Amino acid sequence: DAGDASTSNTVDYLIIAGGGGGGASVNCFTSGGGGGAGGYRISFPNPATGGTSVSAQAYPVTVGGGGTAGANPNPYTANAGGKGANSVWNGITSAGGGAGGSYSQGGCRPGGSGGGAGTNPSAPSRTGGTGNTPPVSPSQGNNGGTSSGGDGGNASGGGGGIGGVGGNASGSTKGPGGAGSPSTISGSDVTRAVGGSGQGNPSSVDATAGTDNTGNGGSGSSSAGGVSRSAPGGAGGKGVVIIRYKYQN
């Protein structure tokens, strides 16, 4: 039904896309980058405009799925993760998170927040993906972190989050995922859109998937020096669309 024009014909929204999948590791001295968080667009609380005006009609909702985990089809080639899918409501689109890079598919993977760069022992440092791609205002995300190169490094960068850039790797130390942002639009204080962590190479670490309905990025995996193994990255978390409205006066 149509709301009372003086109090209840507007809504607030939170639209988060699917997070990017983390990159895989292969053989020794490699690590996959963390997936970028899904784009994060919110109007709550919005005292300046009083919310977004709506009418009594159907409003289709698209909730973006998380990006696929980076796979490792053979001992020498590791795949990057998959990009998260977009979430859409009322003509407002949040872009899927950028995928975490890998051994053969390094960095520069853009999205709502950018994916972290993966490593290759014979490659120099790589640059993470660009966030807020495509650009909107306010920004829907941040850049992913860089990897460290060469046999003395080989740590991967973290995926960007809505609350900060993905951390840059330093030597054998991983870049952490970018921070998320808390919101009480659902009635509880929940932090969402966190970037996936990169990995270092002092030890072998399995990946962690992003939590569904948060748009968090999946982490990368790592294979330590002297350890011959391949390990997939973590899948990105599915996004979420939340609409908050006043239902009685």
Q: What is the pLDDT of residue 233?
A: 95
Q: In the chain, pLDDT over 70 holds for what percent of residues?
A: 90
Confidence tier at 248 by pLDDT (50, 70, 90): low
Q: What is the pLDDT of residue 73?
A: 65
31-35, 76-80, 132-136, 190-194: least confident range: 76-80
Give the span between the Cα atoms of 179 and 248, in whole angstroms. 36
Using the predicted structure, report yes or no on whether residue 151 has a pLDDT greater than 60. Answer: no
Give the span between the Cα atoms of 108 and 125, in whole angstroms. 12
Using the predicted structure, report yes or no on whether residue 48 has a pLDDT greater than 70. Answer: no
Give the pLDDT mean for 153-165.
Answer: 94
Ramachandran angles phi, psi of 155, nearest 5°: -100, 150
Q: Which residue has the higher pLDDT, 204 or 1?
A: 204
Q: What is the pLDDT of residue 195?
A: 98
Q: What is the pLDDT of residue 47?
A: 65
Using the predicted structure, report yes or no on whether residue 249 has a pLDDT greater than 60. Answer: no
Its pTM stands at 0.93
- 10 Å CB burial of residue 227 (0-12, 13-18, 19+) is middle
Give the span between the Cα atoms of 245 and 188, in whole angstroms. 15
Give the span between the Cα atoms of 191 and 236, in whole angstroms. 16
